[in-house]
Structure 1
Amino acid sequence: LPTFNSHAIESQLHHIEGLSEHFLYFNDDVMLGNEVTPGDFFLSSGLTKFFPSPALVPLGEKTAGDPPVAAAGKNNRRLIEERYGKVLVQKMKHMPHPLRRSVLEEIAERFPEEVSATARNPFRANTDLSLTSSLHHHYGYLTGRSVPGLISCSYINVGNYEHHTVLSRLLASRSHDVFCIGESADAEVPVDEQDRVLRAFLNAYFPVRSRFERD
C-alpha cells in the first residue's frame, strides 16, 4: 500500500478478517436492480455460480501492447491451460461475483508467484491476474466448485448516447436483476453530461436511501 490497482486489491480479499466462506463481490459500478436471493448466486450445496459473457478474451499470446484487462485474461488462460489443459476463451459478465474464500486461498497457494506479483503492482500491469472476476470462476469450474448460471443483467455505458435510451427503458421497466453502468472520459458524451445523466437515473431508480448506506 498504497495501491491503485484493483487486481492487486482483489488478490488479497481472502485475508480479510471475518470474511465469510461464501460472499458476493461487487465492483463500484455494479448495482442490484431488483430483489435477489442467495439462490441467484449460490447452489444449496455451496457451489458458486458464474455468468459467462459472449465477449471473448483476445486470442494469441500476451504482447507488450495489450491493455491490462486483456493481459490479465491471457495470464489467467495460461495458468488454466498449463495446469488443466483447457483453453479459457470467455470473459465474464459485469455483475456481482459469487466467491468462496477457500477457492481464493487455494489459488494463492497453487500459483504463489503470479498472485504475489499481482499483489505487488501499485498500478495495473501486464503481469496481473484477474482473480475475482475470472480466474476464480474458471478454476472453480474445473475443480468442481462452480457452475454456469443465468440472471437478468444489463451493461450500460453513459458515454454512449444510444445507451441513454437503454437507461430510460431500464428505469421504466425495472426488468433486470443486476446492471452495470460505465463511464468513459474519452467518449462522445461529455463527462459533465455523463455525470448529470447518471445522477438523475440513480436518484430516480433509488429514491430511498438504503439502511446500509453511509450518511
Structure 2
Amino acid sequence: MTEEKIDIVVLWVDGSDPEFIREKQAVTGQIAEIDQEIDGEQRYRDYGIFNYWFRMIEKHAPWVNHIYLVTNGQKPEWLNLEHPQLKLVTHKEFIPKEYLPTYNSAAIELNLHRIEGLSENFLYFNDDMYLIRDSQPSDFYKNGQPKLLAVYDALVPWSPFTNTYHNNVELIYRHFPNKKALKSSPWKFFNYRYGSLILKNLLLLPWGPTGYVNQHLPVPMKKSTLAHLWEIEGEILDRTSRNKIRNYGVDVNQYICSLWQIESNQFYPMSKNFGETIGLNQVDKLDKIFEDKHKKLLCVNDDSDLKQENLIHFKEIIQERYPKKSAFEK
C-alpha cells in the first residue's frame, strides 16, 4: 500500500510590520472596544525565530510532502522561496473575498481546505508549535485516520476563549448527542495512551454534552472533513469567517474537525505524552521536555507579560540544538 502524501500547513504573521499595522488599524479602528486578551499585540508578535521551525521540520520530518506557509502577503526575508517543498500561500489565494481582509485566525483555519493542491491529510501548525524529535507519518495517522486525544473535560469558563470551546461543542452535539462513538468503540476512549486522563472519561460518562481536553499542539486534519462541515454547518462557519478579528462569543474554530473525527469514530488514540505546551515564561522546563523521548511536539505560547530574558534564553536553547541552517533559509 502506498503511503498517502501528508502536507503541513503553518500560519505566520509579523505584527510589527508598519504596513500590517496600518492595514489592521483601518479595519479594527472601526470596532469600538477591543479586548487585549482577544486581539492584543501578543496575537501577532514575531520573535525572529521562525527559521528554527523550518530547521526542526527538515531534520525531524523529511517525509513531509509540501509545506504550505500561509501569510497575509508577508514573507520572512530569510526564506528561500525556491525550495521545491515550500508553497507560499496568501490569504487572498484561498479565502473567499467576502471574508477579507481578516485578522481572525479562526476564519483562516476554517478555510484551509480551499488551498489549491493541499493533500487530503495535513498537519496544522501555528508558528509557535514545533516538532522536536524524529517522526513518522504513523505518529499522526493510522489507516488514513488522524491520531487524536479522545478525552472529555468539564467546560469551565476560565477565559473568554471558553466561549469558542462551548460553540464548538454545541455544533458537534447537534450531530452526535449521545456519545455513540464511545459506546461502539470504548477502547478508543478508555485507552492506556491517555494515562490518568482516562479518569475524566470515566467521571463524565453519565453526562451528555461535555467539553474536551485540548493540548494546544499541532493537529492532524483531513481536508474532506472541513469541506463536509461547510456543507452541513455552513451558516456558523460563514459567520465566523466574516468576523475580522476573533469573536469568542460566536466563533467556532478548527477544533471542530478533530471533534468531528472523534464523535464520528474516525480516529485512533494519540498518547497524552506526545507533546507539551508551555508559556514563554516557563522556558526553564525546556531541557526536561527536549530530553523526554516520548515528546515529539512542543508549543511555546506567548505570554502577555513576557520577560525579555526568557525570550533570549529560548533563542539560546533552540540555537544550541538547531545551529545548522536549513535549505528553507537563504
1:55 Cα deviation after fit = 6.4
In structure 2, the residue matched to 1:193 is 309
Q: TM-score if structure 2 supplies the norm length?
A: 0.56
The count of corresponding residues between Structure 1 and Structure 2 is 198
1:169 Cα deviation after fit = 2.5
In structure 2, the residue matched to 1:80 is 172
Q: 1 CA distance for matches of 2:275 and 2:159?
A: 28
Q: Deviations over 1:57-82 (max 9, x none)?
A: 426xxxxx951x21111001111222
In structure 1, the residue matched to 2:253 is 130
Q: Deviations over 1:123-179 (max 9, x none)?
A: 000211022xx21111112223223211521222122xxx333113234x2532111
1:1-215 matches, cutoff 5 A: 1-43=100-142, 45-52=143-150, 56-58=154-156, 67=160, 69-86=161-178, 87-125=209-247, 126-131=249-254, 134-150=255-271, 151-159=273-281, 163-171=282-290, 173=291, 175=293, 176-186=295-305, 190=307, 192-211=308-327, 213-215=328-330
In structure 1, the residue matched to 2:29 is none
Q: Which amino acid in structure 1 is aligned with residue 220 of structure 2? A: P
Bigger Rg over Cα: 2
Q: TM-score if structure 1 supplies the norm length?
A: 0.83
Q: 2 CA distance for matches of 1:66 and 1:82?
A: 24
* Contact 1:153/1:178 (<8 A) preserved: yes
* Contact 2:150/2:262 (<8 A) preserved: no
* Contact 1:77/1:88 (<8 A) preserved: yes
Q: 2 CA distance for matches of 1:66 and 1:169?
A: 29
Q: What is the root-mean-square deviation of aligned Cα atoms in Å?
A: 2.1
Task: Provide closer, same or farther for how the CA distance between residues 166 and 52 of structure 1 changes in structure 2, counting only shifts above 3 A.
Answer: farther
Unaligned stretches of 5+ in structure 2?
A: 1-99, 179-208
| Structure 1 stretches of at least 4 aligned residues deviating more than 6 Å after TM superposition | none
Q: Which amino acid in structure 2 is aligned with residue 120 of structure 1? A: R
1:35 Cα deviation after fit = 0.7
Q: Kindly, what percent of the aligned residue pairs are identical?
A: 27
In structure 2, the residue matched to 1:62 is none
In structure 1, the residue matched to 2:12 is none
Q: Deviations over 1:177-206 (max 9, x none)?
A: 11111121225xx2x223212211221222
Q: 2 CA distance for matches of 1:182 and 1:55?
A: 22
Q: 2 CA distance for matches of 1:128 and 1:92?
A: 17
